[in-house]
Amino acid sequence: MRTSTPARIGQYTALLAYLVFLAFPFLWLVSTAFKPPRELGSLHPTWIPKDPTLGNFRQAFDEQPLLQAALNSLLAALAAAVVAVLIATPMAYVVARRRTRLAKAVTGWVVVSQAFPFVLLIIPLFLVLKNLRLINSVPGLVLVYVVWALPFALWMLAGYVRAVPPELEEAAAVDGAGRVRTLVSVTAPLLAPGIVATGLFAFITAWNEFFFALVLLKTPEKQTLPVVLTHFIGAEGVADLGPLAAAAFLATLPSLVVFAVIQRRITGGMLTGAVKS
């Protein structure tokens, strides 16, 4: 199909507008992160810092326990991702391969779990974790993150399992491989990329998560990055912009890098999961 030249010009103008809209806040964050205090206080801020500096980053690390927070975030996100994938993969396999009542119930739960506001979940969880003495601890947060990541992990993994033809497993069975052997040496290797993508996605969502961490972690040395970032904003909403921007920029980098790696797989997995159920 041919598109006329004026139409093409219109399309490129629109696309350019989208690009600007999507990119400018992030560019402004980066720009602010590298500006010295004098430029931040100026009434005519510029896009490109005239006198770029790393001072904001140093100050950010001095003001808040960013390294400890990053470590907490890393531990919580890593543990949550690994556990979620380990327990979700077998269930996703069953859900994808067999149309039982269980599969329907799981799909139903995935949908319902999206609709419930977190307050309704966090108050009872808070009480339960308090009884287990897991408030203000990273393991307690990991428990919450695992359950919170499960619906999406199940959804995606079930999509990946469906993409593995059952005929392959049947062929292995014909050749005399037992059930476990079939799963380990035929299905698992084919699922591996999907499992890694799901795990990385669970990692990012946990790394980015704010609400549960805000409620469950009380002392600064236990808190995760997103919670510590909000401490840069004072009680009256006044913030030291430079360090705030620098810390926010650093906290985003892991998410951006990991997401860039898995983006294609995530969108693919989401949609196979969606189309087939």
Partner 1 sequence: MTSVTEASPPSPQVRRAGRRPGRDRPRKAVDHGAWFLVLPALLPILVLSAGPLLYGILLAFTDAQSGRTEPTRWIGALNFRDLLHDTLFWESFRIGLVWAVGVTVPQFLLALGLALLLNQGLRLRWLARALAIIPWAMPEVVVGIMWRLVYNPDAGILNETLRDVGLGSGRDWLSGLATALPAVIVVGVWAGMPQTTVALLAGLQNTPRELHEAAAVDGAGAWRRFRTVTWPALRPIALAITALNLIWNFNSFALVYVLTNGGPGGRTRLPMLFAYEEAFRYGQFGYAAAMGCVMVAGISIALAVFLVGRLRGGDDA
Interface with partner 1 includes 138 (CB under 8 A)? no
- In whole angstroms, how large is the CA radius of gyration of the chain? 23
Least distance in angstroms from the C-beta of 269 to partner 1: 11
In the numeric block, the tokens 């294609």 are attached to 264
**For residues 19 and 184, which CB has a smaller minimum distance to partner 1 in the complex?**
19
CB 228 within 8 A of CB 16: no
Least distance in angstroms from the C-beta of 175 to partner 1: 9
Least distance in angstroms from the C-beta of 180 to partner 1: 9
Burial of 13 (0-12, 13-18, 19+ CB in 10 A): exposed
Pick out residues in 93-112 that bind partner 1 (CB under 8 A). Answer: 93-94, 98-100, 102, 109
Query: Of 48, 51, 114, 234, which lies in the binding site for partner 1, with binding defined by CB under 8 A?
Result: 114
Print the binding letters for residues 176-215 with partner 1: x by CB under 8 A, - otherwise.
Answer: x-xx------------------------x--xxxxx--xx
Sign of CA dihedral 200, 205, 208, 214: negative
Which runs of consecutive H residues, i.e. helices, occur in the chain? 5-33, 37-41, 55-63, 66-97, 101-115, 118-131, 138-163, 166-174, 179-182, 188-208, 211-216, 225-230, 241-276
Interface with partner 1 includes 1 (CB under 8 A)? yes
d(CA 249, CA 247): 5
Interface with partner 1 includes 68 (CB under 8 A)? no
Least distance in angstroms from the C-beta of 17 to partner 1: 10
Query: Of 9, 52, 90, 193, which lies in the binding site for partner 1, with binding defined by CB under 8 A?
Result: 90
**Is residue 187 classed as helix, strand or coil in its secondary structure?**
helix
Interface with partner 1 includes 42 (CB under 8 A)? yes
| Distance of alpha carbon 33 from the chain centroid | 23
d(CA 198, CA 91): 14
Interface with partner 1 includes 86 (CB under 8 A)? yes
Pick out residues in 221-260 that bind partner 1 (CB under 8 A). Answer: 225-226, 229-230, 232-233, 237, 239, 241, 244-245, 248, 251-252, 255-256, 258-260
Interface with partner 1 includes 120 (CB under 8 A)? yes
d(CA 210, CA 145): 11
Least distance in angstroms from the C-beta of 267 to partner 1: 5
Interface with partner 1 includes 62 (CB under 8 A)? no
